[in-house]
Amino acid sequence: MTTARRPLARSLTLVAAAVLGLLGVAGTGASASADASTPQLSIAVDDGRTEVEGGAELGYRLTLTNLGGSRVRDLTVTQTLPPRTTLASSSKGGARTADGVRWTVEVPAGGSVTLRSSVALADDLPADLLRLATVVCARTAPKAAPTVCASDSDQLPAGATAAEQQQRLDAPAASSRPSWLLPVGLGAVAVLLVTVLVPVVARLRAGRPSGRRAHGSETTVGTGPGADG
């Protein structure tokens, strides 16, 4: 009885291992397929500025690049507009949205697509608005998670003022001292040294015995024979 069951148990073990192996292969294939379906993209945005003031018009340039070997179709590209701005125009069929502009594009393998938008900045800007930032993203579907994103920001006048104030606070204490303080301090130290050292040196010289002997003052005492003669 025991001998008959051993081949059966071995067969069941082999079948289970085969099934698990097939499931593992299927799972690996699905994962690889999912990774392969994600396009390889890069995106950039720039308005050619680093500082901006109220009332200015900003021209943004978006560049979407396909790094993969296959054409990517129906990509959704979105740009979120900064606060206190209004979309003036957009290229290649860009549609206005509640918070910016949206495009639907396709990018050839190894190629790039350039999109543009023009934004007008309000004259009156809040005092606490330090920088003006925009964010662009590319998605494989309108409601999909972003595949790639980029941003661009410019400093506003309030931001420049805040930066200057911070620099003054961070400056070393020595920079706030008057320019005349260092020469006056050195002069006071020199006067103090002269006042203290000159009397000391004079006293040392006055109390030092003379090391010179008068010429011919040396006396020789003879103790040998004929010393008296």
CATH code: domain of residue 76: 2.60.40.290
Per-residue pLDDT of the chain (229 residues; tens, 9 = 90+): 544 455 545 554 444 444 444 444 344 333 333 456 799 999 999 999 999 999 999 999 999 999 999 999 999 999 999 889 999 999 999 999 999 999 999 999 999 999 999 999 999 988 888 999 999 999 999 999 999 999 999 999 886 665 565 566 666 655 556 666 666 667 776 776 767 666 766 777 776 665 555 444 444 444 455 545 4
Is position 141 within any domain?
A: yes
Q: What pLDDT is stored for residue 138 in this prediction?
A: 98
Three state DSSP letters for the chain: CHHHHHHHHHHHHHHHHHHHHHHHHHHHHHHHHHHHHCCCEEEEEECCCCECCCCCEEEEEEEEEECCCCCEEEEEEEEECCCCEEEEEECCCCEECCCEEEEEEEECCCCEEEEEEEEEECCCCCCCCCEEEEEEEEECCCCCCCCEEEEEEEECHHHHHHHHHHHHHHCCHHHHCCCCHHHHHHHHHHHHHHHHHHHHHHHHHHHCCCCCCCCCCCCCCCCCCCCCC
Is position 24 within any domain?
A: no
Is position 19 within any domain?
A: no
Q: What pLDDT is stored for residue 126 in this prediction?
A: 87
Domain span at residue 125? 41-169
CA angle 103–105–106, rounded 5-degree value = 165
Residue type, 69: G
Tokens of 108: 């050839």
Q: What pLDDT is stored for residue 181 in this prediction?
A: 60
Is position 157 within any domain?
A: yes
Q: What is the number of domains present in the chain?
A: 1
CA count, 13 A, side-chain hemisphere, 169:
6
Q: What pLDDT is stored for residue 221 in this prediction?
A: 45
- Global confidence as pTM: 0.58
- Give the distance, in angstroms, between the CA of residue 214 and the centroid of all CA atoms in the same chain: 83
Give the C-alpha separation, 207 to 82, whole Å.
87
Is position 13 within any domain?
A: no
Is position 136 within any domain?
A: yes
Is position 192 within any domain?
A: no
Is position 68 within any domain?
A: yes
The phi, psi pair for 194, rounded to 5°, reads: -65, -45
Sequence-distant (6+) residues with CB within 8 A of 4 are none
